[in-house]
Amino acid sequence: MSKDNKNKPTGNPADKLPEDAAKAMEATAASLQNLAAAAEGKAAPAPVEEPDDALFDFDDDDPLSATGVSKKSLVIFFLIDTSRSMVGKKIGELNTVMEELIPEIRRVGEADTDVKIAVLTFGTQVRWMYSEPILIEDFEWSRLRADGVTNMGEAFRELSSRMSRNSFLNSPSLSFAPVIFLMTDGYPSDDYKEALEELKQNSWYKFGLKAALGIGSEANDEMLEEFTGSKDTVVHAYSGGQLAAMIKIIAVTSAQIGSKSMTLSDDVNHELSEEEVRSAKQKLLGQQIQDSMTNLGDADAISLDTGW
């Protein structure tokens, strides 16, 4: 099926989120446009007039239309702690929310972006849910089980080895910098620091959008900040309800921000540098996450760790 014939949007990706958080996410697209314009010292651009679609209709009789067109691809990496401490409600809630999340992320890219998902779990063993990133349309969540210790450092090494043009990021179409989302309820069992330093040398990691979610009170904020490089992109969930809301907010918001172009590649007078784009996107993600968290407030303050 050709890309332009893909299903039309069937709803707002923020449908199932708390109202204020959903509004904050809806504002993301407009904020991105303004931020990009501001970075160039220009007013926000006027809407671009769409060309006559009929000119570009894919003719069913054209045999060459059999292969789809891709604009850009975005890989979202989920790094998920599956150590023993996650057993019970935590892993159960996480499985449920991830199953619900996939259709919501599916609507983010639509015709403009091929969104792919890669899930890396770490307990005693580090393993990928699929052995390569899978298009969101084809992705099916496999329910996770928790057991063993927290080999997060090994997960960082595995991630670094796969974030490469020769491995997971080998799509011919141009790639947005990936989204990397870490979820954990505790402190690493292994020596994660050295592995994190190695990961930080990876260009895809450097330019990627990073966010982290601490689950329960045992999760260590300092360590999570080391991972994301910013306080604003680290949040904590203390109950099942918060966990569900936060995973959705972070995943959908980062996918939205990650899949927006902020460069004018052929503007010969001023080209946004990769660093400017990375910095603007990461800053925006932090703002959006913090706004959404404020709006979440005490929506679900029933249980802390005892509630798991």
Q: Residues in the site for another protein, rule: CB under 8 A?
A: 3-4, 51, 56, 58, 62-73, 114, 127-132, 134-135, 138, 140, 142, 145, 171-174, 264-269, 271
Nearer to another protein by Cβ, of 47 and 51: the residue is 51
Nearest to 121 by CA among 152, 81, 86, 149: 81
* Rounded CA separation 244/14 (Å): 13
CB 8, min distance to another protein, A: 15
Minimum distance, C-beta of residue 24 to another protein, in the bound complex (Å): 30
Provide the minimum distance between the beta carbon of 170 and another protein in the complex, in angstroms, as a whole number: 8
User: What is the C-alpha separation between 308 and 303, in angstroms, rounded?
Assistant: 7
Produce one character per residue of 117-127: b if its CB has 16 or more CB atoms within 10 Å, e if not.
bbbbbbbeebe
Write down the least CB distance from residue 158 to another protein, Å: 13
Is residue 74 within 8 A of residue 114, CB to CB? The reply is yes
Cα separation, 278 vs 245, in Å, equals: 26
**How far is residue 305's CA from residue 87's CA, in Å, rounded to a whole number?**
13
Residue 116 or 281: which CB sits closer to another protein? 116
Report the run of H or E that residue 284 belongs to, with start and end.
Answer: helix 274-296
Which has the closest alpha carbon to 227: 258, 190, 181? 181
Shortest distance, position 131 Cβ to another protein, whole Å = 5
CA gap 147, 150 in Å, rounded: 9
Question: From the CB of 137, what's the least distance to another protein, in Å?
Answer: 10
Q: Which is nearer to another protein, 140 or 298 (CB)?
A: 140
> Based on CB atoms, which residue is closest to another protein, 174 or 301?
174
CB 3, min distance to another protein, A: 6
CB 282 within 8 A of CB 205: no
Residue among 134 and 149 whose Cβ is closer to another protein: 134
In the bound state with another protein, the residue whose beta carbon lies nearer, of 173 and 294, is: 173
- Nearest CB to another protein, comparing residues 5 and 12: 5
> Minimum Å distance from CB 130 to another protein?
5
Facing residues of 126 across strands?
122
How does DSSP assign 211-245, residue by residue?
EEEEESTTS-HHHHHHHHS-GGGEEEE-SHHHHHH
Place of tokens 């069992």: 189
For residues 47 and 172, which CB has a smaller minimum distance to another protein in the complex?
Answer: 172
